[in-house]
Amino acid sequence: MEHLDIIKRLCDNNFDTYIVGGCVRDKILGIDPYDFDIVTKARPDQIIELFKDRNVKQVGKSFGVILVDDYEVATFRLDNYENDNLEIIFAETLEEDLARRDLTINAIAFDERTGLLIDEHGGREDCHNRIIKFVGDPWERINQDPCRILRACRFLAKIDGTFDIKTDLALKDTVYMGFMDRIAPERIRLEILKAMEISNASKFFTALHEIGALKFILPSLDSCWNHEHGNHHVENVWDHCMFVGDAISTNDPILKLTGYLHDCGKPETFDSETKQFLRHEIAGKILTKTELDKLKFSSKEVERVSALVRSHMYSTLKMSPKAIRKLLKKFNERNVNVEDFMRLRMADRKGNIGRAPFKLFEWITMYKQFIDPVNIETPFSAHDLALSGGQIINEFELEPGPQISKIQKLLLDYVIENGSESNDESVLRSYVNEVINY
């Protein structure tokens, strides 16, 4: 069942029904909507009864949201905020429902039956002018839900817009007054990940900085603002981070976020005399791990970002096979995916406006080094050696303990040094014999 069929059935049963929010906004902006939010006068139990022949799920009983064949159908509602608690009250009219929404560009409805646009808050004009404006009193809207500070910045990036004067002032006021402390870390994480679905998500971070909010979310990134960038870059550290993040696809939100954060350790490690940022990648690893942990990113997400930040400085042009194998061993130890590294490396180069991006043949050369069978068939863990720890103990009559681990490490280093062909039982047995008798 399509969204038009759902609307028709509701309307045929005397329930006023409209599409609302993002799909209407996108139509006005000339963007093909990919989902359709439906609002109706019907109550949840009435919706369930009316669509009992369809795939129906109740996803938010207290919010009045029902999924009908994967389309969200929500009952008109009012939001009553009391002591930071939200109470949902079902409303009788569409106008009441639109009035409780946060931004004017999201408070527009469309009547599929008549072709009428219902826009009581100037959302259509704000879409055309690309203005982010709160519905009603912006201070009151933010006080009801401080996470709207981040939502406003995200939608500014989404429509490539600017803030209405009152909205801008309210955002800065509420940040200054400490409203960021009222936002749950989990919600901040979710807003950041949603922002990574926007190609130029740099506008999201820029807006957060300009209203004073970014230092409460990602202080290391905020410290990059207008920071000088030494002798190897024309652009400052902030601009470089933004260029790199923007150069990474929205298909991978975590990798895109890594692009924005990859040089966040530079301000902390800057030497004003030499204009260098020694070991900034190590500082960046610690900072990203600390800050993303606080924002309740998953351990897998945190480790992926911090490991890539730690590893992003390796140059892969004109490396010997032995050097590539050593690098792959480091990637294995840090659980760094080679394709992630390559994509970040390409974006990092693209974000340096004083240097030309990698040429196609350079990219192919780098990639071939990593997929060369001589390199990828090389073991990067003692468990993958042709001679096991048990064999070493039995064949050389040694006692289990730290000595065996040391021998295995020497064997692994030997294979990394000499390539996958040296991972042979007889070759390794001979090498162990040399080590023991040394």
Q: Which two tokens stand for residue 317?
A: 């042009």
Amino acid 276: pLDDT: 84
Q: State the helix-helix crossing angle for 148-159 and 165-176, rounded to 10 degrees.
A: 140
Amino acid 163: pLDDT: 98
User: How far apart (Å, rounded) are the C-alpha atoms in residues 285 and 270?
Assistant: 16
DSSP code, position 102: S
DSSP three-state, residue 203: helix
The residues, any chain, with a CB within 8 Å of residue 197's CB and separated by 6 or more, are: 250, 253
Amino acid 39: pLDDT: 95
Residue 109 · residue 91 · CB < 8 Å: no
User: How far apart (Å, rounded) are the C-alpha atoms in residues 51 and 330?
Assistant: 56
Amino acid 61: pLDDT: 63
Q: Which two tokens stand for residue 437?
A: 């008798």
**Region at 317 (left for phi over 0; alpha for psi -120 to 50; beta for the rest):** beta
Residue 97 · residue 127 · CB < 8 Å: no
Amino acid 53: pLDDT: 92
φ/ψ of 271, rounded to 5, equals -105, 110
Among 86, 116, 88, 120, residue whose Cα is nearest residue 104: 120
Residue 109 · residue 20 · CB < 8 Å: yes
Amino acid 303: pLDDT: 97
Looking from the CA of 188 toward its CB, the CA atoms found within 13 Å total 22
Amino acid 278: pLDDT: 86
pLDDT tens digits in sequence order for the chain, 438 residues long: 899 999 999 999 999 999 998 899 999 999 888 889 999 999 999 999 999 999 999 886 667 789 999 899 999 988 777 666 667 788 999 999 999 999 999 999 999 989 999 999 999 999 999 999 999 999 999 999 999 999 999 999 999 999 999 999 999 999 999 999 999 999 999 999 999 999 999 999 999 999 999 999 999 999 999 998 877 777 899 999 999 999 999 999 999 999 999 999 999 998 888 888 889 999 999 999 999 999 999 999 999 999 999 999 887 767 788 888 888 888 888 999 988 998 999 999 898 887 777 787 777 877 777 776 556 677 888 888 888 889 889 888 888 888 888 999 899 888 888 888 888 888 999 888 888 876
